[in-house]
Structure 1
Amino acid sequence: MKAITSIQNPLVKQLVQLKDKSRERRKTNTFLIEGIREITLALKGGYELETILFYPELFTSDQVKALTPLAINTIEISKEVYQKLAYRDTTEGVLAVTISKHHHITDLQFDTKTPLILVAEAPEKPGNIGALLRTADAARVDAVIIANPKTDLYNPNIIRSSVGGLFTNQVATGTTTDIIAFLKLKEIPVYCAALQASLEYHTQDFTKPTAIVVGTEATGLSKEWLEHAKQNIIIPMQGEIDSMNVSVAAGILIFEAKRQRGFK
């Protein structure tokens, strides 16, 4: 088994770039996962691990074998190397270099005739994207689509804040135009969370194929979405503040749809 003890090792320098730089993740078609739960969920979600790195005082070679019985490249690393590569303050001593997926909207597959889809247009903060994915996992939506993404899905803060939800959801990205065309082709009506010409969200029938679309708190949804909506929907606000966090709003809308469907 190979061991790396120096943070000056070329592979370590490359992995630091993989952690920090979207460009490196795109170039190599790989990304870093940190933590037992996240790696386990990635494997369950069909991701292929390229290399496992572990700090033996926190994570043993026997645990590595139990985590993945497949014969993949395994590297023992020192505390200094681990601290250089780790993203979280509290973690479990194991990381995995993982092969990315493509996330094309044309790859989406639905096991039901009445899919429930969450669409988020141009979310900027990785933490918000992670929270959306976590909410989507809790509701077991059929897909999450990110329109006009501002960051790549394998940003470590997305993985961390989603608690591995990136791997448990069916996720796709694309332009607003392409996503609208896809939904139209699949005959999935669009419900936009917007202030203009809106009806209260609970008055709508979400038991049929449904795409719930949310935008950013700052700018809302683009005109293109509003022009193609079956109906704009609004969450009644009773306080002084006229907006809420996008993941909170999405959670309210999605779980109303789940309530109408008998949480199926």
Structure 2
Amino acid sequence: MQATKHISSAQNPLIKKILLLKEKSRERKKTGLFILEGLLELQLSIGAQYEIETVLYCEDILESSESSGILKSFHSDQLISVTTEIYKKLAYRDTTEGVIAIAKSKDHQLSTLKFETKNPLILIAEAPEKPGNIGALLRTADAANLDAVLIANPKTDLYNPNIIRSSVGCLFSRNVKMGSTTEIISYLKKEGFQIFCAALSASKDYTTVNFTAPTAIVVGTEHSGLSEEWLKNSTQNIIIPMEGQIDSMNVSVSAAILIFEAKRQRKINK
């Protein structure tokens, strides 16, 4: 593995560019580039056919032959070695494998959505704001091997480093699309999906509904729930019965419970 360049100055234009991409959503949108950090994230992005523009690595932090092997798959002019000081300035995590990459973002418009199965199971999250929650939803979607995750009325840049970090790279392993609530509802109806909205009003116990047809499970924010537009277009509102003193759970926990009930039903009805 031989990089063609080495950077040791924090004033280097590329280092300044990476910091901007890391910190500014506007810069990511303007350039179509984003930053990812870590070996797993890099592997998943490559597997999802993301175009990697540049890889920075710190020789003193690289811990495994696997890391070196991944780097050998890049051309030397894509690789840049950096000092430990520079790497720590760029890194988002305390524990890391010494690899940071600049990658090109993909098109996440709803119009590009395609399925590989005739009976898809998808998750829809309306207006999620917290990157940690979005990341957790993507991890759940990956664990269940969902056919897609749709973000309705997105409020957060999908390539926010906190989303990539909290999803442990599952942003790359899932089929993620975005659109307005109106657009997504129109799409679901056109494609014959049943729509199950997690809501408190006019709801049935989630274990009593049938998830075995093409299904969209829709969750809202913990603070305000789902918009009226979703509730009006729901096939059936569903609820997870609570036995304590509160009436809600973290959105990613709720989504996981609903998703894996759907998976359970589909498994026994094969």
Q: TM-score range by the shorter chain?
A: over 0.9
Question: Aligned pair 1:76/2:101, yes or no?
Answer: no
Equivalent residue pairs, number: 264
Question: Which 4+ runs in 1 deviate beyond 2 A?
Answer: 59-68
C-alpha displacement of 1:258: 0.1
- What residue is the counterpart of 2:144 in the other structure? 139
* 2:52–2:104 Cα contact (<8 Å) kept: yes
Structure-2 separation of matches of 1:168 and 1:65: 21
- What residue is the counterpart of 1:221 in the other structure? 226
C-alpha displacement of 1:81: 1.2
TM-score by length of 1: 0.96
Question: Aligned pair 1:7/2:47, yes or no?
Answer: no
* 1:117–1:143 Cα contact (<8 Å) kept: yes
Which of 123, 130, 135 is matched with 1:118 structurally? 123
C-alpha displacement of 1:149: 1.1
Question: Aligned pair 1:55/2:58, yes or no?
Answer: yes
* 1:40–1:67 Cα contact (<8 Å) kept: no
- SS of the counterpart of 2:149? strand
After superposition, what is the alpha-carbon deviation per residue over 1:229-253, rounded to whole angstroms, capped at 9, x for unaligned? 0000000000011110000000000
* 1:193–1:214 Cα contact (<8 Å) kept: yes
- SS of the counterpart of 2:264? helix
Which of 207, 212, 216 is matched with 1:207 structurally? 212
C-alpha displacement of 1:70: 3.8
- SS of the counterpart of 2:267? coil
* 2:61–2:84 Cα contact (<8 Å) kept: no
C-alpha displacement of 1:67: 3.9
Question: Aligned pair 1:241/2:246, yes or no?
Answer: yes
- What residue is the counterpart of 2:70 in the other structure? 66
- Structure 1 segment 86-235 matched on structure 2, within 5 A: 86-235=91-240
- What residue is the counterpart of 1:44 in the other structure? 47
TM-score by length of 2: 0.94
Structure-2 separation of matches of 1:262 and 1:122: 31
Structure-2 separation of matches of 1:158 and 1:122: 14
Structure-2 separation of matches of 1:61 and 1:243: 43
Query: Compared with structure 1, are the counterparts of its residues 67 and 256 closer, same or farther at alpha carbon in structure 2 (3 Å cutoff)?
Result: farther
- SS of the counterpart of 2:95? coil
After superposition, what is the alpha-carbon deviation per residue over 1:163-204, rounded to whole angstroms, capped at 9, x for unaligned? 111011100011111111111111111110001100011111
Greater Cα offset, 241-250 or 7-16: 7-16
Q: Partner letter of residue 103 of structure 1?
A: H
* 2:36–2:164 Cα contact (<8 Å) kept: yes
C-alpha displacement of 1:66: 3.1
- SS of the counterpart of 1:262? helix
Q: Partner letter of residue 29 of structure 1?
A: G
- What residue is the counterpart of 2:36 in the other structure? 33
Structure-1 separation of matches of 2:88 and 2:152: 34
Structure-2 separation of matches of 1:98 and 1:249: 32
Percent identical pairs in the alignment equals 61
User: What runs of 5+ residues in structure 2 fail to find an aligned partner?
Assistant: none
Structure-2 separation of matches of 1:61 and 1:161: 23
User: What runs of 5+ residues in structure 1 fail to find an aligned partner?
Assistant: none
Question: Aligned pair 1:19/2:25, yes or no?
Answer: no
Structure-2 separation of matches of 1:133 and 1:248: 12
Query: Compared with structure 1, are the counterparts of its residues 5 and 60 closer, same or farther at alpha carbon in structure 2 (3 Å cutoff)?
Result: farther
Q: Partner letter of residue 111 of structure 1?
A: E
